[in-house]
């Protein structure tokens, strides 16, 4: 099984995790503090911008489930934003930037 590289830009920390791991779990493994609320993809507290070198997030992340997508739509954030408690890595390398609403 190929591991997925997750890089947290603000903390300058990288961790390698199994596919299917949430980005929030990856942050915990890397020792990166992320402010969270409900951790069920409903509150939006952990919305962050994410990117990949190819620019195609669907190649590195699982699609957002309905509850996550509903929260992202309600928040009005861009397509480069995901909820870290819900976003699951798929393959390759994912970079996590700052908070979706403040950065």
Does the reported pTM lie above 0.85? yes
Report the pLDDT value the prediction gives residue 103, as an integer from 0 to 100: 59
Q: Is 46 exposed, middle or buried (0-12, 13-18, 19+ CB in 10 A)?
A: buried
**Predicted confidence (pLDDT) per residue in 7-19, tens digit:** 999 999 999 999 9
- Mean pLDDT, the chain, rounded, equals 94
Read off the CATH number of the domain in which 39 is found.
3.10.20.30
Determine the structural domain holding residue 60 and report its residue range: 4-99
Neighbours of 80 (CB within 10 A): 14
Backbone angles phi, psi at 55, to 5 degrees: 85, -5
d(CA 67, CA 83): 10
Q: Compare 19 and 54 and report the one with higher pLDDT.
A: 19
- Which ranges constitute the DSSP H helices of the chain? 23-30, 66-75
Question: How many domains does the chain fold into?
Answer: 1
């Amino acid at each position: 099984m190929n591991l997925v590289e997750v890089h947290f830009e603000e903390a300058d920390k990288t961790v390698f995790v199994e596919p299917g791991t949430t980005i929030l779990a990856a942050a915990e493994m890397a020792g990166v503090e992320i402010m969270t609320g409900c951790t069920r993809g409903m509150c939006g507290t952990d919305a962050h911008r994410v990117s990949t070198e190819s620019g195609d997030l669907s190649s590195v992340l699982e699609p957002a489930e309905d509850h996550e997508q509903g929260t992202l739509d309600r928040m009005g954030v861009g397509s480069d934003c995901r909820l870290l408690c819900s976003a699951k890595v798929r393959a390759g390398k994912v970079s996590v930037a700052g908070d979706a609403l403040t950065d």
